[in-house]
């Protein structure tokens, strides 16, 4: 049996492992009700009220987000003509 105390990831209150939620490790007071992911439709424990994607989809979204090219303005005008 595990008698160690663990900190809630939200309020840092110490509680037993069984009292923390499975995904976000939050205590009974801080945990949010499970939602369905807007992408894969899996049940997940949201980190915030606004979260609509599960962790996995959120991660994939970040990783596959289009990389914007560096701003090129300013480089084209670097040649100045002398009169
Ligand atoms: Zn807490
Ligand atoms: Zn998902």
**Are residue 26 and residue 36 in the same domain, yes or no?**
no
**Are residue 8 and residue 27 in the same domain, yes or no?**
yes
Domain presence at residue 75: no
Domain count, the chain: 2
42-50, long-range: CB < 8 A, 24+ apart: 45/21
Joined together, the tokens standing for residue 28 give 């009974």
Q: What is the pLDDT of residues 20-54, one digit of tens each?
A: 999 999 999 999 999 999 999 999 999 999 999 99
Q: What is the pTM of this model?
A: 0.66
Confidence check: pLDDT of 76 > 60: no
pLDDT value at residue 59: 92
DSSP 42-73: -EE--SSTT--S-HHHHHHHHHTSPPPPPP-T
Ligand 1 centroid vs 9 CA: distance in angstroms? 7
**Are residue 24 and residue 36 in the same domain, yes or no?**
no
**Are residue 37 and residue 52 in the same domain, yes or no?**
yes
Strand partners, 48: none
**Are residue 44 and residue 55 in the same domain, yes or no?**
yes
Ligand 1 centroid vs 53 CA: distance in angstroms? 22
| Residue span of the structural domain in which 25 resides | 1-31
């Amino acid at each position: 049996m595990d008698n160690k105390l663990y900190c809630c990831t939200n309020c840092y209150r110490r509680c037993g492992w069984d009292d923390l939620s499975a995904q976000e490790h939050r205590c009974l007071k801080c945990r949010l009700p499970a939602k369905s992911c807007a992408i894969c439709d899996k049940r997940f424990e949201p980190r915030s009220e606004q979260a609509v994607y599960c962790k996995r989809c959120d991660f994939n979204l970040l990783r596959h987000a289009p990389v914007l090219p560096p701003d090129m303005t300013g480089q084209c005008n670097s040649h100045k003509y002398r009169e």
